[in-house]
Amino acid sequence: MSKEQKVAIITGASQGIGSALVKAYRSRNFRVVATSRSIEESGDRDIAAVRGDIAKPDTADRIVATALERFGRIDTLVNNAGVFLAKPFAEFTLEDYDHNMGVNLAGFFHVTQRASAEMLKQGSGHIVSITTSLVDQPIAGLPAALAALTKGGLNAVTRSLAMEFAKTGVRVNAVSPGIIKTPMHAAETHAALATLHPVGRMGEIGDIVDAVLYLEAASFVTGEILHVDGGQHAGRW
């Protein structure tokens, strides 16, 4: 096994954007540790599947241990796992709060802390998180306070870690999508969801993959929140 081949960890990797990211990183000759609650082995010896709840610290331990034991290094972490719940603020339950905080924030914290420790030893690495443009441009009629609370935290910590790690060789960025055509959105909702973007369409999974791969290659970019949202963040429409 050559330790020179780069290794990416991708969370929320069983479907949608995460599954597409696994394929994209493999196409660029990365070995991949793919993780989600329901991930299955792929048959590709350069993909290691780790099943578990990303909100739990023991899952993060197993993800990082798998990367090091199977592939010997960690070069990239894509924090793609996330949940989104649109509901009036006064109607959120404690269970809603715990679930959103667990997946969106604790999930980021545990795996990023462990993976970044290995990157800092190595002197290089890239961390990229998937957030949402609703943080910057809330939409009337789409109440999403828990998304703002949790994904807004990811935007803030992206900038904070970019500064903390700036001279270490470890870059930290985020991609901030609009509403993307994934399995979580039924086809009959697409026409209405398209109107929530100034360009008049939903985003495609490939739009987000392209943004992540741009950041992967952009060695002079860190602390960036890259909006891929059909213009949502730019103003009112």
Is residue 49 a part of any domain in this protein?
A: yes
Is residue 196 a part of any domain in this protein?
A: yes
Is residue 237 a part of any domain in this protein?
A: no
Cα 146 from Cα 101, distance rounded (Å): 8
Cα 177 from Cα 51, distance rounded (Å): 26
Per-residue tens of pLDDT for the chain, all 237 residues: 445 899 999 999 999 999 999 999 999 999 999 999 999 998 999 999 999 999 999 999 999 999 999 999 999 999 999 999 999 999 999 999 999 999 999 999 999 999 999 999 999 999 999 999 999 999 988 999 999 999 999 999 999 999 999 999 999 999 999 999 988 888 999 999 999 999 999 999 999 999 999 999 999 999 999 999 999 999 888
Phi, psi of 46 (to 5 degrees): -95, 10
Residue 235's pLDDT is 87
Among 16, 8, 6, 11, residue whose Cα is nearest residue 208: 16
Place of tokens 């331990």: 61
Element (H, E) at 148: helix 145-164
Place of tokens 């009112």: 236
The CATH number of residue 27's host domain is 3.40.50.720
> What's the one-letter identity of residue 203?
G
Burial 154-187 (b: 16+ CB within 10 A, else e): bbebbbebbeebeeeebbbbbbbbbbbbbeeeee
Is residue 199 a part of any domain in this protein?
A: yes
Cα end-to-end span (Å), the chain: 53
Asked whether the whole model's pTM tops 0.85, one would answer yes
Place of tokens 């994209």: 24
Element (H, E) at 58: helix 57-66
Is residue 158 a part of any domain in this protein?
A: yes
Is residue 2 a part of any domain in this protein?
A: no
In the three-class reduction of DSSP (H, G, I as helix; E, B as strand; rest coil), residue 171 is classed as strand
Is residue 235 a part of any domain in this protein?
A: no
Number of domains in the chain: 1
Go through the chain and tell me how many residues it has. 237
For residue 152, give Cα distances in angstroms to 10, 115, 134, 136, 166.
20, 21, 9, 8, 21
Cα 155 from Cα 66, distance rounded (Å): 28
Is residue 236 a part of any domain in this protein?
A: no
Residue 179's pLDDT is 92
Q: Could you give the count of Cα atoms lying within 13 Å of 54 in the half-sphere of its Cβ? A: 32
Structural domain boundaries, residue 75:
7-229
